[in-house]
Amino acid sequence: MSSSLILSSLPSVTTVLLVISSFTLFVVFYIRSKYSYWERRGVPTPREVDVPFGHTKDLFFRRTPMTFVFQRIYDELEGHKFGGFYQLTKPFLMIRDPELIKSIFVKNFSHFHDRNNKMSEEMSSLSSHLVSLTGQRWKNVRYKLTPTFSSGKLRAMQGLMQECISELADYLDKATADGENSEQNVKELMAKFTTDVIGACAFGLNCNSIRDENSEFRRIGRLIFKPSMGAHIRSICRTLAPKLMSYLKLRSINPEVEQFFWTVLKDTVKHRESNVNKRNDFLQLLIEVQAEEIKHTRSNDHQNGDQAETRNGHAKNAIETPKDILFTDTVVASNAFIFFIAGFETTATTLSHCLYELALHPEICAKLREEVESVKQLHNGNLDYDAIKKLVYMEAVISETLRKDPPASLLVRRCTEAFKMPDTSLVVEEGTTLFVSIYALHHDPKYFPEPEKFKPERFLGENKDNIVPGSYIPFGDGPRICIAMRFALYEMKSVLAYIVSNYTIHTCEKTSIPLKYNPRSGLHSPLDVWVQFKRIVRS
């Protein structure tokens, strides 16, 4: 074939340029169309968009902690009750107004009853828990689990809680005996403590995390929250393209973590079946809920079978195995799992933030110690469940810690039914995801003057009564508020009461002021929190 014939068979330069230009124009118009979603609806947005990353480029590349990315979006929407923003090209809505937050999370909950992290059992065998369940199934499970965190149930767990505090006491006594190990990274120490508490109160197991550096439970806890590129990609997919997770068969939980929890649960349940003594822990409560449900279902099945036999005069209709059981083994395992991961890391982070603030503010620590000693005197030197409830200033200190540094700094809801925003013409479409930046809300001087200052008095007396409803939501709000809130508060008050009663807390050479935060964490989590403990010598 001649060279002239070859050249004539190739596309002309003009044709190539035309194809490239057409494709470029298509991409430009496509992106403009995507980024005009909120503009077309008259919704304000932050000023700059980083194409194609939207308003969360730093989050995508993990250069800035998630907490501060969404605080920036919140701040740039100043003067508006809500505003739109984009992650890549997907539109999201930021809710800023406390009254509107109450409306969405409480009054109009039926339009926003699901979170945005729905998981199927294809993604994980531990996915059927309160955080990811949706619709009526979530409502049914929540209803059955709510009584497990009653005052009576918490009071029954106080013995298990005290055993864990005793382990911490032994550790700190040895660490401060000669002063050499009195400097502690309390982020890690409190994670070990809360792991032991969850192990005891959830599974009835001695995790031994404080004494044993190689504790399997602590290793698994680190693995769950260990930042990785794979976990980051899965998180992006869950937010932006949840169907892609299923299509690519991406696992939402590390297989090693799944295997560990299934093994622990099966071994624990098997042990309890052959043991007469029952424990007052979360797993036992789940087992009893399941057993009661099976008993009730079988009873109804037998009644239906007897009625059918009476009517038809032939074969028995009783069912041997119950159908439509809500609390299957998967639901039991999933909720035990979520109680573990939601319970140890967030509580440990709050405790480490609180100890950090007490080290920076010795006058607050002294006032807290005075209250603890006063309550102990009224209860014969003991701090049982009823005594802990009387620590009013302690609760204010914890509340201020949660205001200043909420470990879960973001609330997310998905619109499940089209909703018209009050006093506007905007109709939020079904499937739209709403964000509330808890951290930004807690740091808005409109609601909390001098937000960077640690002032427990905000949560005492008239000051507490004057807090704008919807502006302080460290545990969420509405029917999906954290179910274990009372347990977490009881745990934190119990261990802090012991620490401030027996030690003074100080900054040291390793203390980072201000704290540095992990840009790869999904929580508002400092890299390290170092303080020094000094044993109080009583005459």
pLDDT digits (tens, 9 = 90+) for 496-512: 999 999 999 999 999 99
Q: How far is CA 58 from CA 97, 281, 409, in A?
A: 25, 42, 17
Mean pLDDT, all residues of the chain: 86
Alpha-carbon span 44 to 350, nearest angstrom: 34
Residue with tokens 């013995």: 159
For position 395, what pLDDT does the model report? 98
For residue 523, what pLDDT is reported?
92
CB 358 within 8 A of CB 372: no
Residue 170: what pLDDT?
A: 94
- Residues facing 412 on adjacent strands: 435
Evaluate whether 369 touches 322 at the Cβ level (below 8 Å): no
Tokens coding 136 = 């009526």
Residue 534 has pLDDT above 60, yes or no: yes
pLDDT of residue 296 exceeding 70: yes
Whole-number pLDDT of residue 268 = 86
Question: Of 456, 332, 454, nearest to 392 (Cα)?
Answer: 456
pLDDT at res. 67? 97
pLDDT, position 323: 54
Instruction: Please say if the pLDDT value at position 301 is more than 80.
Output: no
Interatomic CA distance for residues 158 and 43, integer angstroms: 50
164 annotated as belonging to a binding site for a ligand: no
Nearest-angstrom CA–CA distance, 345 and 221: 8
* Ranges 113-127, 257-271, 332-346, 426-440: which has the least confidence: 113-127
pLDDT at 343: 82
Give the per-residue pLDDT at 255: 85
147 vs 109, more confident: 109
Quickly tell me which residue has 């009224």 as its tokens. Answer: 378
Q: Are β-strands 183-185 and 427-428 bridged in parallel, bridged antiparallel, or unpaired?
A: unpaired
pLDDT for res 317: 34
Based on its alpha-carbon atoms, the radius of gyration of the chain, rounded to whole angstroms, reads 27
Distance between start and end Cα atoms, the chain:
106
* Confidence category of residue 232, pLDDT binned at 50, 70, 90: low
H helices of 279-328, in order, are 282-312
* Angle between helix 186-198 and 216-225 (nearest 10): 110
Q: Which residue has the higher pLDDT, 318 or 479?
A: 479
Please say whether the beta carbons of 299 and 322 come within 8 A. no
Name 8's Cβ contacts closer than 8 Å, sequence gap at least 6. Answer: none
Q: In this predicted structure, what is the pLDDT of residue 399?
A: 98
**Digit-coded pLDDT (tens) for 383-398:** 999 999 999 999 999 9
Q: What is the pLDDT of residues 516-529, one digit of tens each?
A: 999 988 899 999 99
Q: DSSP letter for 114, please.
A: B
Q: What pLDDT digit, counting tens, does each position of 151-174 carry?
A: 888 898 888 899 999 999 999 999
**pLDDT tens digits for 422-481?**
999 999 999 999 999 999 999 999 999 999 999 999 999 999 999 999 999 999 999 999
Distance (Å, whole) CA 104 – CA 107: 6
pLDDT, tens digit, 9 for 90 and up, residues 25-81: 555 566 667 889 999 999 999 988 888 889 999 988 889 999 999 999 999 999 999
